[in-house]
Chain A
Amino acid sequence: NAGVTQTPKFRILKIGQSMTLQCAQDMNHNYMYWYRQDPGMGLKLIYYSVGAGITDKGEVPNGYNVSRSTTEDFPLRLELAAPSQTSVYFCASRKTGDTEAFFGQGTRLTVV
């Protein structure tokens, strides 16, 4: 099992550009999460999903969109990149009934 795979690992965007951060898991987990982590800060929940076709907002959803068409994939879309979205983004997944969440290695995004 690869676990949770995030791509790309690094990306530089210009203000106003769009991009999709990819997240895939091969553990058949129903729950998936997107977090952002700013320097010296904890993880802030952006969006989460409890299964294919079901998504919900977290603490900081503005400027982001998600979709969950399959159990495996949970992409995060940035439509109009802003410098405030410069951060490290982590995707995580969890099995229904389990408490352990598995995290990807993160995507480091810089908006200039």
Chain B
Amino acid sequence: EDQVTQSPEALRLQEGESSSLNCSYTVSGLRGLFWYRQDPGKGPEFLFTLYSAGEEKEKERLKATLTKKESFLHITAPKPEDSATYLCAVQAVGSDKLIFGTGTRLQVFP
């Protein structure tokens, strides 16, 4: 069964304090791994897609990386506006389903 586990559940950072969020996955064959950002009371918003081990994607202060078992979302010098829940999802080869993890709730304090 396809499974996604995210850690930590919650993370509090001081503004400028870099850190990483983890997404471990188990799929029969990975078609794609996705990162989304979700603000309170809103629907998730797409950030990145990663397809194969070794791939990296960047957007402003965020960088996503992928290995054969996990993905990391690195946040460099975060700002308070980066506070949100970050969700990881996977799609298996031959499947149309997007399976999500439980998310990491990030709070960045000034």
Binding site for B on A (CB under 8 A): 4, 31, 33, 35, 40-45, 48, 50, 56, 58-59, 90, 92, 99-106
Contacts and interface: CB of A to CB of B under 8 A. Distances in A.
A99 B36 CA distance: 12
Contact of B102 (A41, A48, A90, A102): A41
Given A42-B100, A100-B49, A106 B43 contact: yes
Interface in B1-57: 4, 6, 9, 32, 34, 41-46, 49
B43 A90 contact: yes
Nearest to B43: A103
Contacts of A103: 43-45
B100 A35 contact: yes
B69 interface: no
B102 A101 contact: no
Contacts of B49: 99-100
Interface residues of B, number: 23
B96 A31 contact: yes
B84 interface: no
18 contacts: A31-B96, A35-B100, A40-B9, A40-B102, A42-B101, A42-B102, A45-B98, A45-B99, A48-B96, A56-B96, A59-B99, A90-B44, A100-B49, A101-B98, A103-B44, A103-B45, A105-B42, A105-B43
A56 B22 CA distance: 30
B46 A100 contact: yes
B97 interface: yes
Contacts of B46: 100-102
B34 A99 contact: yes
Contacts of B101: 42
A39 B10 CA distance: 14
B100 to A, nearest CB: 4
Given A42-B6, A90-B44, 4 more contacts: A33-B98, A42-B101, A45-B97, A99-B49
Nearest to B89: A43
